[in-house]
Structure 1
Amino acid sequence: MTRIAIIAGSTRPNRNARAVAEWVHEQASGRDDAQFELVDIADQGLPLLDEPVPPAMGQYAHEHTRAWARKVASCDGFVFVTPEYNHSVPAALKNAVDYLYAEWNNKSIGFVSYGSAGGTRAVEAWRLIAAELQMADVRAQVVLPFGSEFGEDLAFTPTGAAAEALTEVLDQVLAWAGALRSLRD
């Protein structure tokens, strides 16, 4: 069965990434066309990139890298739950992505973004990064602006429109994961 990782992409204290990723996972888990796993980047124990050899060589010196590589390699596609920090991607998730290369190749990726502008600028940056990693990024995305999808205390309160957008993202991620299967095999 197709395996999709939903990656909570922030490690910041009091972050929204975990709540948003749990919502994505809850919505996805109601489907029977794939297995969905919530992966929190905060739980991966990845220091600032400390591998002495470029990741394209696949020669990992540290067990934390090898464990991360096994996790990513076991998936057919991804949904990144990404905040937008300073008009771009969060450093912790970018660091985790930069640890690996081949494990990302020929896999699909979709985005659920949040922030003051809904995280759209982070997703634009992620699309460039995904292309370099030979990933197929899907067109649909979930945009969660603080003004409409979060309460005054920034508690996540998704709307029905967000749920509809998520269904489209998941449909596209699964379709592309299937289409790319022959390249991964």
Structure 2
Amino acid sequence: MSGLVMEALLLAAGYGRGLEPLTHTRNKVLIPVINKTLLDHHLENLVKAGVDRVVIVVSYLKEQVEERARLLANKLSFDVKVIDQGKPLGTGDAVRKGLEEISSEYFIVVYGDIYVRYEDVKRFAKAGKNLLGAYEVSDPRRYGVLVINEDFTLRDILEKPEKAPSNLINAGI
């Protein structure tokens, strides 16, 4: 590991409408997947990849997330800060609010409702560059659609556009 990424920003503020009815009583990161919550998987993988501080941006059912995150922080020996986004206004706003608590030049952003394998976290961390995971889908209208320049740099992310300019969506890392 290059040692560049020591902090992570975990986005867990949205309601998780795509995961209803599971999210009626719990935050999307607290949904169990293979006998652990998504939050457990995320934090274990981030710590294993070398992250020692995680900032979690939450809105919906913040107290549930904060309680579980603190328990895991004690168990796995890392620093955690849970901040309230307030009204969930999308990914850009959540990242902006989370950045106020990030002190590292290099950090990783992970979507709370998308499982990210340890190997992928490690690969992104080693790159030490501004990278964004992309995934091609047949109907991108339900996602954050990437607008890419000819040199494959990111120009914009359009959230759930009616008419999508591409089939590439934000893959959550």
TM over 0.5: no
Name the structure where helix makes up a greater proportion of residues: 1
- Between Structure 1 and Structure 2, the one with more strand by share is 2
- TM-score tier, shorter chain, comes to 0.3 to 0.5
TM-score (norm 1): 0.34
Higher relative contact order (CA 8 A, sep 6+): 2
User: TM-score under structure 2 normalisation?
Assistant: 0.36
